[in-house]
Structure 1
Amino acid sequence: MKKRNRIIYWIATIWLSLGMLSTGIVQLIHVQQEADLFARLGYPAYLLTMLGAWKILGVIAVLVPKFPLLKEWAYAGFFFAMSGAVISHLAMNDEAKELFGPILLLVLTTVSWYFRPLSRKVVSVNA
């Protein structure tokens, strides 16, 4: 892996991890502003706990060495959660500023996944 690609991977992965960890904690502890947002979007409060826990577990999966299949699932979960957030905000005709965070995390998820090292990829061997 080229040094440039490693740098891109780690920058994207660190920012993705910080974003997912911070929003995961906010959701897990049910910060009032986040609970109000979920209610306005029409989601039940228990979804905050589920998403928060999954985001934190996903960050751990992405950062720890090995377990490439688990990383694939974590990236997929991040992608689905953030694309769902974008769609939810669009469905509610929210202002463009509400889309910034989810779109940024969606881009960081894609960049981190794309530039991940071979040791963090699921490699299939055709027999």
Structure 2
Amino acid sequence: MNPKTTKTIYWIGAILTSLWFGASGFFELTTNPIVWGITQQLGYPPHFIYILGVAKVSGVIVLLIPDKFLRLKEWVFAGLFFDIIFAFASKFAVLGPAATADAIVAFVMVTVTYLSFRKIYG
């Protein structure tokens, strides 16, 4: 794959990932009843939901700054993977396998974006 294609895939993935996790973080910080209801149904306490929201919004900001903070972006990707893995496991355990579809889609999206990031920045 040529470098231009890799960069295009990365930026499409970074934008989609930022929209996904940025919206989620925003809804967590603004106590959206749907997001909060599901998260509390999974057993997470309110203070954790705020922390998650701050982490997601901060991560999205870092992710969208071009060619800067590369080491920090690695940490953002790690945090996203942890979030997805915990969301999958929690939903699987509490709500059942059908509720994990969004986590699977997020995992694929973030994985492709991360692999593109690694190809570009080595």
Would you say the 8 A contact 1:5–1:115 is kept in 2? yes
Shift of 1:94: 2.5
C-alpha distance in 2 between matches for 1:107 and 1:14: 14
The answer as to 2:25 corresponding to 1:24 is: yes
More helix by percentage? 2
Cα distance in 2 for residues equivalent to 1:89 and 1:70: 28
Cα offset, 1:104, TM superposition: 1.7
Q: 1:76 aligns with which of 73, 78, 91?
A: 78
TM-fit CA distance, 1:93:
3.9
Aligned length in residues: 118
Match of 1:2 in 2: 3
Shift of 1:95: 4.9
Q: TM-score, normalised by structure 2?
A: 0.89
| 1:34 aligned residue | 35
Q: For the Cα contact (< 8 Å) 1:83–1:102, is it kept in 2?
A: yes
Which residue matches 2:90?
88
Equivalent AA in structure 2 for residue 74 of structure 1: V
Match of 1:99 in 2: 100
Give 1:109's aligned residue. 110
1:18 Cα deviation from its structure 2 partner: 0.5
Q: Kindly name which structure, 1 or 2, has the bigger radius of gyration based on alpha carbons.
A: 1
What displacement does 1:100 show?
A: 2.2
Amino acid at match of 2:89: I
TM-superposition CA deviations, 1:31-61 (whole Å, max 9, x none): 1112211221111011111111100100111
For 1:103 and 1:52, the matched residues in 2 are separated by 20
Gaps of 5+ in 2: none
SS at match of 2:31: coil
TM-score, scaled relative to structure 1:
0.85
Show structure 1 runs of 5+ residues with no match. Answer: 122-127
Q: Which amino acid aligns with 1:10?
A: W
Give deviations 1:38-87, integer Å, cap 9, x for gaps: 22111101111111110010011111131111001000000000110000
Q: CA deviation at 1:29?
A: 0.8
Q: Distance in 1 between matches of 2:10 and 2:107?
A: 14
